[in-house]
Chain A
């Protein structure tokens, strides 16, 4: 734990300027993850800039039928919003599957997608971790991998000493739903505003596992937009875990089925980022959405999946579990004759 300065600027522009000016500054919103990290020494900022009261708390209708979620709207608030519950149920379900009531009251739309991995080695400053301390190595490879990635990792068993190795997963449920919904992230940075498609917000470890997203230093999420869905679209979120509540996903599935039979699919608990199953979506494009078709599509998606050995038999179980969970989730969204 290390002392830091705390600032509460007057508006978002000032907040962005403050953070941009200090290389070791961070934004604070709900604090449900950052405050833990400050205590544990996982985050060691010099400056904490509190934006909780600066960004919008509102959830507002967009002219095209979409919805804008202000960055400071809480997870509880969005999950309870009748518009979200009726038109984007996958998001309401994902939010309610996350954390606890108390945490959802604090966690925000802007903060939730930016929470860090729950990899136990990332959270323990006494163990090497490329994400926390670039170049120090990856303790997770061959260790406790139950909550770790099977997709987006190198084909062979990664080298734990290599600086690019990271098999962490992104823990957010909300982010999986937003990836399936093709949400748009509105960002304010030192260079002005830009919009990032949600499926492109998070990155794979690449050559720098310390970076979770494509946001540059000083860039702040001000809102997330939910695009309108065709009338009659059905969606659902299914989270699989040993404990019935207050546990991160072993795997999770966000599925959206449009009236013309198009499936949008995102997976959680399996990769460094919310995993949009683009390969499966491609395979299904133009096909009738039957159980068999979905089974084949998810098999194609999982063809490159790489189980991670480790304590308590590793995480190879996730690969069949993903397939089974996708099938079960989509089954619930199909008209009777196809299921």
Chain B
């Protein structure tokens, strides 16, 4: 149990502190950092998916007036640490995927750098590539573990026996597509090496964590962490793709090293982001459910097949949510990977939970239909008393309340599938879940200066609201007005902070700030003097290991399908979430409806159309890779229940950045089924999949 803060500023609907600067255009992003006399870099990318670079003719590029440097694997300096293929840019001639970084040009202008990069002639020894994922590949393998340190496989009881004896069973295969994060701000870096001395590097980098970014760069370049500064006050979205640095950061630093004292800027183009900035693996999910005629599950199993890059492993934890979501005595989850000649997958909003709540939540709907049970009721009947995976009690689990309140707000009990003019109308539901995580490392420093409290922590605001809500937490921990508190973030000159990932930022940084504030009050009382300071580490914050902490939610969808064309529109999307105490309703709602919109996008629009003949995403720009736009979003509502959780942290808050995207796509598929009778098990749901069934 933790002593929860008395909420005063917490819960207030404060406007974003960084909002005005962003609206006015004065907030500086990495590429726009004002620096003296910058040079510009543009990468050279491989145009084969597998093989070796045997030669690069840079004569034409170097001959262009204004070109300052052309780096290739043949002339680039050797880096200190080269074990990570993605980070060890220009350290070898091997090509592991099409679009890989194989060179960089630095020039006086970005246009010139691009022209010169195009002028580099590359000769390859091309080898046959293999980029097609399928569930029956003979070379599928079990990784040692899956993302976030989860076990690859789990099993309890005997699924096969339960399937053999159950009154009702369901066996289906579902698939999710490949998705690219596509934050609005591209991956961009401004890098500056001090001209003299031991080699001090400053990176203005668009990142979800300045300290983890610094740690990776220091290691690769063989520097002490103190020799590197990373600055990132604002991030134009990341969705996980800026959580771990990608090759572009190292390439920019390498390019700038060729011009000490001269800042070098490089921003990936939108097209380049489809090769270099991570993506969500496509997944194939074989589901098994067994139940009695009342809908009580006796078995849940999910066997996941997905891909990674041959040159660097990333294993999405897609099977993980099925381990804890519903009660069932017999359970099995497995993950198998194909290592392909493809770009390197990575984090994308709710890795694991997002794809992993697609198959199971559509399967639950199919089971409900088979049993003739309301899909809301089916979920309620399978509510576990304790976490089925760990046996621990829940810190708080309000899935049933979310389902009930959502059903009431949505008008679920009056639902019916009907035809309205040219439109077929249906409704669907699915559950959401996301773990409440806290990272091990983060420190906040708090100082009293000029009558105000100033805290510093190297946290990140990706548009999520950290600039605004961290002062709210700190103010309540100090017992002062939020206007008297400033929290500075986004710079490695501030104390170390964890990555903004796993919806753990507020939990982690907020806990460190609370420790610092309490320490400050203990040391200096209520009437401090100018210059008094204290610090707090997250590991000093109360930590409960005896409960299982998760946020839950329920999402309801009305789908309309045009009877002539099969076009799908979603006029209503409503979510109710149990996310602990909400720090700021304004920024929280934005996170939740943002996640839900991204889930809608996954359901209906997004798909990286993979061309296996050449080994790349065919539709690799935003003209062709379609993301849900305003016109696709009708009435969208995010609500939360009043949830008291004394176990998670001093704020009583759970992470909200990712849960919104979890379950949405299943709810859409279920609603489209209700409207048309067509069950689309392979995302996205597009009109061509419905047309054959429309008369």
List A residues at the B interface (Cβ < 8 Å). 1-3, 39-41, 118, 120-121, 123-124, 126-127, 139, 142-144, 146-147, 240-247, 250, 311-313, 317, 320-321, 324-325, 327-328
Residues of chain B contacted by A124 (CB below 8 angstroms)? 271, 620
Q: Are A126 and B687 in contact (CB under 8 A)?
A: no
Residues of chain B contacted by A142 (CB below 8 angstroms)? 613
Closest beta carbon of chain A to B100's beta carbon, Å: 13
Cα distance A245–B604 in the bound complex, in angstroms:
13
Q: Are A2 and B115 in contact (CB under 8 A)?
A: yes
Residue of A nearest to B47 (CB): A126
Q: Which of A2, A240, A313 touches B567 (beta carbons < 8 Å)?
A: A240
Q: Are B613 and A118 in contact (CB under 8 A)?
A: no
Quick one: given A118-B624, A143-B611, are A245 and B115 in contact (CB under 8 Å)?
no
Q: Are A311 and B114 in contact (CB under 8 A)?
A: no
Q: Determine which residue in A3, A118, A247 has the highest number of CB atoms from chain B within 10 A of its CB, and name it.
A: A247
Residues of chain B contacted by A126 (CB below 8 angstroms)? 47
Quick one: given A120-B618, A243-B628, are A328 and B564 in contact (CB under 8 Å)?
yes
Residue of B nearest to A240 (CB): B565
Cα distance A120–B47 in the bound complex, in angstroms:
16
B614 within 8 A of A: yes
Q: Which of A1, A120, A121, A123 touches B118 (beta carbons < 8 Å)?
A: A1
Number of A-B residue pairs at CB separation under 8 A: 93
Q: Are B118 and A41 in contact (CB under 8 A)?
A: yes
Quick one: given A1-B114, A1-B118, A245-B630, are A325 and B565 in contact (CB under 8 Å)?
yes
Residues of chain B contacted by A320 (CB below 8 angstroms)? 691
Q: Are A243 and B632 in contact (CB under 8 A)?
A: yes
Closest beta carbon of chain B to A36's beta carbon, Å: 8
Q: Main secondary structure on chain B at its contact with chain A?
A: loop
Q: Are B614 and A139 in contact (CB under 8 A)?
A: yes
Interface size class of B (residues with CB under 8 A): 35 or more
Cα distance A144–B623 in the bound complex, in angstroms:
14
Q: Are B632 and A244 in contact (CB under 8 A)?
A: yes
Q: Which of A1, A41, A147, A317 touches B688 (beta carbons < 8 Å)?
A: A317
- Which 5 A-B pairs rank lowest in CB-CB distance, beginning with the nearest? A144-B618, A317-B688, A245-B631, A328-B564, A244-B631
Please provide the chain B residues from 623 to 639 with a CB less than 8 Å away from any CB of chain A in the complex: 623-624, 626, 628-632
Closest beta carbon of chain A to B55's beta carbon, Å: 18
Residue of A nearest to B613 (CB): A143
Residues of chain B contacted by A324 (CB below 8 angstroms)? 564-565, 691, 694
Q: List 23 A-B contacts (CB under 8 A).
A: A1-B118, A41-B118, A121-B618, A123-B623, A124-B620, A142-B613, A143-B611, A144-B609, A144-B611, A146-B609, A240-B565, A241-B567, A242-B567, A242-B687, A243-B605, A243-B632, A244-B629, A245-B632, A246-B629, A247-B626, A312-B607, A321-B691, A328-B564
Residues of chain A contacted by B684 (CB below 8 angstroms)? 242
List B residues at the A interface (Cβ < 8 Å). 47, 111, 114-115, 118, 271, 422, 564-569, 604-605, 607, 609-611, 613-614, 618-621, 623-624, 626, 628-632, 684, 686-688, 691, 694
Cα distance A205–B111 in the bound complex, in angstroms:
33
Q: Are A242 and B686 in contact (CB under 8 A)?
A: yes
Q: Are A127 and B614 in contact (CB under 8 A)?
A: yes
Q: Are B610 and A242 in contact (CB under 8 A)?
A: no
Residues of chain A contacted by B111 (CB below 8 angstroms)? 1, 3
Closest beta carbon of chain A to B179's beta carbon, Å: 14
Residues of chain B contacted by A311 (CB below 8 angstroms)? 609-611, 618
Q: Are A321 and B614 in contact (CB under 8 A)?
A: no
Q: Determine which residue in A3, A120, A247, A327 has the highest number of CB atoms from chain B within 10 A of its CB, and name it.
A: A120
Q: Which of A39, A243, A312, A325 touches B629 (beta carbons < 8 Å)?
A: A243
Q: Determine which residue in B566, B618, B626, B632 has the highest number of CB atoms from chain A within 10 A of its CB, and name it.
A: B618
Cα distance A244–B601 in the bound complex, in angstroms:
12
Q: Are B619 and A144 in contact (CB under 8 A)?
A: yes
Cα distance A245–B613 in the bound complex, in angstroms:
31
Closest beta carbon of chain A to B44's beta carbon, Å: 12
Cα distance A142–B613 in the bound complex, in angstroms:
9
Cα distance A325–B694 in the bound complex, in angstroms:
13
Cα distance A313–B688 in the bound complex, in angstroms:
9
Closest beta carbon of chain A to B571's beta carbon, Å: 11
Residues of chain B contacted by A121 (CB below 8 angstroms)? 618
Residues of chain A contacted by B564 (CB below 8 angstroms)? 324-325, 327-328
Quick one: given A120-B619, A313-B688, A328-B422, are A242 and B626 in contact (CB under 8 Å)?
yes
Q: Are B618 and A242 in contact (CB under 8 A)?
A: no
Cα distance A3–B619 in the bound complex, in angstroms:
27
Closest beta carbon of chain B to A47's beta carbon, Å: 17
Cα distance A129–B610 in the bound complex, in angstroms:
18
Cα distance A327–B694 in the bound complex, in angstroms:
14
Residues of chain A contacted by B569 (CB below 8 angstroms)? 244
Q: Are A118 and B623 in contact (CB under 8 A)?
A: yes
Residue of B nearest to A329 (CB): B564
Cα distance A242–B628 in the bound complex, in angstroms:
10
Cα distance A40–B269 in the bound complex, in angstroms:
10
